[in-house]
Structure 1
Amino acid sequence: MRKKTAIISIAAMSLLLLAGCGKSSSSSDDSSKISGKITIVGSTALQPLVEQAAETYQADNSGLTIGVQGGGSGTGLSQVSTGAVTVGNSDIFAEQKDGVDAKKIVDHKVAVVGIAPVVNKDTKVTNLSKAQLANIFLGKTTNWKELGGADQAIVVINRASGSGTRTVFDSSILPNKTAKQTQEQDSNGTVQKMVSSTPGAISYLAFSYLKDNIQALSIDNVKPTSKNVETNNWKIWSYEHMYTKGSPNYATAKFIGYIQSDKIQNGLIKKLGYISISDMKVEKDAKGTIEEINK
């Protein structure tokens, strides 16, 4: 165990530097002075949070336009690295993405997201062991009756290879193994709809997409809850990153700072099913090493 040191976000540092370069405190705090365009692409797991935060933030900053799109973590990291977008949203560290130079982009962690396996409710299954779950995605188990459920073929819906959600899921459930070839979808939203309407379907979703019309599975009798993520009892989770190419400009720094603020961390983040970083009892690095936080 070790002491957790205070970390000033890059967004906050950028604001301090700008304040020291001639901006008075009154002009820095005047939201009407913020203008420009911010383009954000990437993680569909993070997309609902950023979209809603952008909507409320733009309402107070009429001169600012914020465009938010999905596309997956791989797309977000690749596009922000080339400067094609202002911000690349990602469920994974840049170091985990092949072809991306993590040293050239700056990480701003804004939340934590849990990821849960989900099934169509007609399967009649609510809990699986980790080994049983792995065997489904490896193609070794093909009918729910083998797992105590309905006599129904298992329909695996995987995520696309560029998905950060898939990277997080595979590293936890299928380490050093390759899932069987099956249909793939790019979006958490699309997967949610398909699982709810497809008999025998199974996939996995960010907590923010869990709805009453699908069944989230426990693993080894551990439920997929925020409290279990905070202590790493639920092991399928990741940080939500907003990457910029170098230090963010003034408008971008202000928006990222807004998402990192207590107002959003204690409000919108929890409302949408994300977890505030300040609530975590553990932390994780790009290699997946877990370390307890002594607060």
Structure 2
Amino acid sequence: MKNFLKRVALLTTIAGGLFLMSGCASWADRGESITAVGSSALQPLVETVAEQYQTANAGQFINVQGGGSGTGLSQVQSGAVQIGNSDVFAEEKDGIDASALVDHQVAVVGITPVVNPEVGVTDISLADLAKIFLGEITNWSEVGGNDVEIVLLNRASGSGTRSTFEKWVLDGQTAVQAQEQDSSGMVRSIVADTPGAISYLAFSYVTDDIQTLSIDGVAPTDDNVKTNSWIIWSYEHMYTLGTPTELTQTFLDYILSDDVQNNIVGELGYIAISQMQVARDWQGNIISQ
């Protein structure tokens, strides 16, 4: 009798599992789940909006992952995900066919150099900042700071934040080889804890335990980004492979809605597209003002 009951229980468990798997397959077939992958600078905004969207729309799920802009663009191009998040235009990435992708610009993000608070510097020239990342200046005393060795920390090569920083600070040159991190959160933590450290982060990741640097007297603020007085900024793109449909389009409409753009975007440290007083093309040219 005990063996019989065990067999019944096992069959019931298997049947239940098959039912759940069938139900999941049917649910997935209805297109109620999408995945957005890529830029870690954009990730906090997409995660926050996705959570709010899911709360209001039971049964619809937005999976959000990081990995960097290069990963987002390559994954959406291959059809592996529905949305590729990127800090850079698709045209700027080698191996990406921008003509196959549709660009949905959802916000603007400023990017700032950040340092350990003990370096003794709060303002730096653009020329000296470039020299630091090219390895030509190696001690903070050379730029008016404390006698502390400079510790460079870069984002990984696929990072859109890194691409933007190198484009506008290094004039397209590649930073000297140094420690690299995929995660913006990890960059912030390392800079806060490492004497002499310098890196760069989206405004949305800046906290009180790190120090931002002004450049040539211009502070890294939203107002300065809006007028292009602060030039280290980028659009936050959510790319799709062709025209989006169903849940993908609905979610993109939601993140571009007035409620999200006028409230959540600013609260999380981004700038709404509508607030920009300038626009730039993928080559960095000002196309309107």
- Equivalent residues of 2:280, 2:288 under 8 A apart: no
Distance 1:289 1:224 in 2: 20
Greater Cα shift, 144-153 or 130-139: 144-153
> Where does residue 233 of structure 1 map in the other structure?
229
* Aligned Cα root-mean-square deviation (Å): 1.0
Distance 1:101 1:177 in 2: 23
Deviation at 1:189, TM superposition (A): 1.0
More helix per residue: 2
Which of 107, 113, 117 is the aligned partner of 2:113?
117
**Structure 1 residue 273 and structure 2 residue 269: aligned?**
yes
* Structure 2 gaps, min length 5: 1-29
Identity of aligned residues (%): 61
Larger gyration radius, structure 1 or structure 2? 2
- Equivalent residues of 1:128, 1:218 under 8 A apart: yes
Distance 2:244 2:207 in 1: 35
Which of 199, 212, 223 is the aligned partner of 1:216?
212
Greater Cα shift, 111-120 or 58-67: 58-67
Which of 163, 168, 171 is the aligned partner of 1:172?
168
Distance 2:70 2:137 in 1: 30
Deviation at 1:176, TM superposition (A): 4.0
Relative to the length of structure 2, the TM-score reads 0.88
Equivalent AA in structure 2 for residue 198 of structure 1 = T
- Equivalent residues of 1:127, 1:217 under 8 A apart: yes
Distance 1:289 1:147 in 2: 31
**Structure 1 residue 145 and structure 2 residue 180: aligned?**
no
Distance 2:138 2:192 in 1: 19
SS at match of 1:100: coil
Distance 2:136 2:51 in 1: 45
State the aligned residue count.
260
Distance 1:259 1:227 in 2: 22
> Where does residue 53 of structure 1 map in the other structure?
49
Deviation at 1:177, TM superposition (A): 2.4
Question: Structure 1 176/45 Cα, relative in aligned 2: closer, same or farther at 3 Å?
Answer: closer
Equivalent AA in structure 2 for residue 177 of structure 1 = Q
**Structure 1 residue 248 and structure 2 residue 248: aligned?**
no
* Structure 1: 4+ residue segments shifted above 6 A: none
- Equivalent residues of 1:35, 1:63 under 8 A apart: no
Distance 2:261 2:271 in 1: 8
Distance 1:249 1:71 in 2: 24
Distance 1:228 1:177 in 2: 25
Which of 253, 259, 263 is the aligned partner of 2:255?
259
Distance 2:31 2:98 in 1: 28
Which of 58, 62, 73 is the aligned partner of 2:58?
62
